[in-house]
Amino acid sequence: MPYRIEISLRLQQLYLFDDDYNGDAQLIRQYPVSTAKNGAGEQMGSYQTPRGKHVVSDKIGAGMPLNAVFSARVPTGEIWSPQLSMAHPERDWILTRILWLDGREPGKNQGGDVDSHARYIYLHGTNEEHLIGTPASHGCVRMRNADIVDLFDLVEIGTAVHISAD
C-alpha cells in the first residue's frame, strides 16, 4: 500500500502520506478531524479513541450521497437534515462513508476488551461539522462529509492507519 494515514489526537488532524513518492513520503492530504470527547483509550465501553497501529478493514458507502445515514453499517435510506436530527436527538449520526478500522497490536488494540474492530471504530462523516477540530466523538474519528468522500476514494482496504496522542 503506498498510502498511509497518520492521525494526531492532540492536533485533531489526519494526514495522508504517499510512501512511494520518489522513495520519500509525501503529504498528499491533511484534514481536520474530531476524535473522542473522552480522550485516548482502548478499553471497550470507554468511548475513547484507540491509539496505535490499525488498518482499514472495510470501506462502506461507496456511491452514497453526502449525508446518507448509516445504522449498523447499512444505509437507512435517510439523508441527514436538521429536522431529522431533531426528530431523533438520541442518535449518534454516522454519515456519508465509513472506513472501519482493525487494530494490529495484540493486547493493545486487537483482541479481548481492547479490540478496535469489535468496538466499531470508524472514520466517518458527521452532522456536527462545526465541532471538527475539537474532541467531540464517542470514540470514532469524525470528518467533514466532503473530506471523508475524498479520503474514501483515495485509500484501499489494508491502508495503514496510525493514531497517536501527539
What is the overall mean pLDDT for the chain? 96
pTM given for the model: 0.95
- Sequence-distant (6+) residues with CB within 8 A of 88 are none
| pLDDT above 80: residue 22 | no
- The pLDDT of residue 24: 81
In the predicted model, what is the mean pLDDT of residues 107-114? 97
pLDDT for the residue 20: 77
Q: Are 103 and 119 in contact (CB under 8 A)?
A: no
Beta-carbon count within 10 A of 21 CB: 12
- The domain of 147 spans 3-164
Give the span between the Cα atoms of 99 and 12, in whole angstroms. 17
CATH of the domain at 29: 2.40.440.10
Position 160 confidence tier, pLDDT thresholds 50, 70, 90: very high
Beta bridge partners of 101: 56
Out of 11-25, 67-81, 98-112, 127-141, least confident range: 11-25
Residue 1, pLDDT above cutoff 70: no
Q: Given the C-alpha cell 495522508, which residue does it identify? A: 16
Number of domains in the chain: 1
